[in-house]
Amino acid sequence: MELQVIWFVLWSVLWAVYFALDGFVLGSGMLQNFVARSDIERRVVINTLGPVWDGNEVWLITAGGVTFAAFPTTYALMFSYLYTPLLLLLFSLIVRGVAFEFRGKVDDPRWKAIWDRALLVSSFLPALLFGVTFGNIFKGLPMDAAGYHGSLMSVLNPYGLVTGLLFVLLFVVHGGLYLSVKTTGAVKDRSVSAASAVWIPLLVVAVVFLAYTYPATHLFDNFLAHPGLLAVPLLAVLSLLGIKVFLVKGKLLPAFTASSLTILLVVATGVIGLFPNLIPSSLDPHYSLTAFNSSSSPYTLKVMTGVAIIFLPIIIAYKIWVYRVFRAPVTNQDVLDNKQAY
């Protein structure tokens, strides 16, 4: 049982870290055509993301791998029940990667415009679909002994769409703050303005999400049973408010840090409310998939724990090294001097 809890926590941490890291890439992709007005400025935006976007996706692969290895029943049924939205998500992420790599292959404005639009769409869709998927997981899927009784349209329910909108706005603000730290000049100024402007609807949607979560889900049950856990959503609210405070003071790096913390705490709030469920059933709690009834054998979890202890610090050290090497802001002159490859 201890190993199952450990892997539930690790599964949660992997998703939270992925959203905090790839969230600013998705947000920057959605903002590119709004904060960059020329080809050089668009190249500046892409070059802030080029060295890190694929490394950030390692956390998504790892989170999926952990789901497959530690909770195989959950993995199998999740990809069966939510096949269409997850397939659209996969295609979107593929197109995003191709857009990064292909945009600069042909020096033609029409060619670049196609991939700029592709980057916008392939950044928006994953953000929305991740939110819709997790919103439905928070809400619970209509499943019982006979299987899944939902459809693509049932997944697009009001609560799922509110959660999807929350993810989109979180990532847009996160991306704007990332670009404000990683760029200079006009792109930096527009990124700050975009993050500041989108923060207001983000706050409104966050309030709606919290209010809607109580009647639509059972996420508050664990918090009401253990009031001390309420510190997590409270810290999420404070970090969200902290973004605006730091923006007003012009402290962009602290604002980006607060945005990262907001995403981590929002995910933490969701998974704490879910525990021990991985996918709750909205029809009958007895058919919910939990960390205990869908996990691998204790031996498998022990082996995985050993592997995680060895390789997770290596991955973390590598990511720290990459971000340290590419810590300097990207300027227009860097692009003109071909110091950046994208």
Q: For residue 265, is it within any domain?
A: yes
Q: For residue 127, is it within any domain?
A: yes
What residue type is 325 in one-letter code? V
* Cβ neighbours around 80 below 10 Å, total: 12
Domain that holds residue 153: 2-336
Sign of the CA dihedral 237, 22, 160, 80?
A: negative
Indicate the burial class of 217 (C-beta count within 10 angstroms; 0-12, 13-18, 19 or more).
buried
Q: For residue 341, is it within any domain?
A: no
Sign of the CA dihedral 95, 47, 175, 138?
A: positive
Sign of the CA dihedral 62, 67, 72, 78?
A: negative
State how far the Cα of 121 lies from the Cα of 112, in Å rounded to an integer: 14
Task: Answer yes or no: are the C-beta atoms of 133 and 15 closer than 8 Å.
Answer: no
Q: For residue 93, is it within any domain?
A: yes
The whole-model pTM stands at: 0.94
pLDDT digits 0-9 by tens, 13-44 = 999 999 999 999 999 999 999 999 999 999 99
* Structural domains of the chain, count: 1
Q: For residue 16, is it within any domain?
A: yes
**pLDDT at position 208:** 97
Longest Cα–Cα distance of the chain, Å, equals 62
Number of continuous H segments (helices) and E segments (strands) in the chain: 14, 4
Token pair listed for 229: 């856990």
Q: How far is CA 57 from CA 60, 216, 256, in A?
A: 5, 31, 20
**Which residue has tokens 């402007």?**
197
Q: For residue 88, is it within any domain?
A: yes
State how far the Cα of 267 lies from the Cα of 146, in Å rounded to an integer: 31
State how far the Cα of 164 lies from the Cα of 146, in Å rounded to an integer: 28
**pLDDT at position 133:** 94
Q: For residue 162, is it within any domain?
A: yes
**pLDDT at position 315:** 87
Q: For residue 291, is it within any domain?
A: yes
* Cβ neighbours around 9 below 10 Å, total: 13
Residue ranges in the chain whose pLDDT is less than 50: none
State how far the Cα of 23 lies from the Cα of 16, in Å rounded to an integer: 10
State how far the Cα of 30 lies from the Cα of 206, in Å rounded to an integer: 20
* Cβ neighbours around 320 below 10 Å, total: 10
**pLDDT at position 214:** 93
